[in-house]
Amino acid sequence: MKNTPLFGAWKLRSLETRASDGSVSYPWGKVTLGYAVISPEGYFCVAIMSANRKRFSSQDMKGGSAEERANAADSYISYSGPCEIERAKFRVKVEVSLFPNWIGTIQERNYKIEGKTLSVSTTPTLVNGKEQVGYLIFERV
């Protein structure tokens, strides 16, 4: 894969989704934390979460009540896999994902880099029962 300014580690600064009616939402809350990493070997990995995730009452990673586990899953998204990069878009062949329906799919993203800022937009995605486009802003780490 040829060298591109997209390679590297990026820290999430903002994330919002917009529906065709113009409404804006914040699926992981208004304050989100996350990173995206794109390697020269052609791999992509992203992890995003609400900044206000509640801790489990137990220190057992596989423990927690059904409600605690559901809240943890609802406040987090992650996926990764091999990545193809074009001039203004990249495609990830999802091999690992918190959302199991994405495994085996291609997730396409448009991107633009200005200085140390990476702007990413998604294809329309069903979020909370409504087709929405995600808009994410990252800063190079």
For residue 39, the one-letter residue type is S
Taking only the tens place, the pLDDT of each residue in 1-39 is 678 999 999 999 999 999 999 999 999 999 999 999 999
Phi and psi at residue 125, to the nearest 5°: -135, 140
Taking only the tens place, the pLDDT of each residue in 55-108 is 999 999 999 999 999 999 999 999 999 999 999 999 999 999 999 999 999 999
Contact (Cβ atoms closer than 8 angstroms) between residue 79 and residue 95: no
| 137 CB neighbour count, 10 Å cutoff | 15
Query: Whole-model pTM above 0.85?
Result: yes
pLDDT in the model for residue 2: 75
| Top-confidence range, 20-24, 112-116, 127-131 | 112-116
Using CA atoms, how far apart are residues 131 and 141, in angstroms rounded to an integer?
31
Taking only the tens place, the pLDDT of each residue in 30-66 is 999 999 999 999 999 999 999 999 999 999 999 999 9
Query: Given the structure tokens 């495994």, which residue do they identify?
Result: 103
pLDDT in the model for residue 46: 98
pLDDT in the model for residue 128: 86
Nearest C-alpha neighbor of 87 from the set 105, 114, 110: 110
Structural domains of the chain, ranges and CATH numbers in brackets: 8-140 (2.40.128.280)
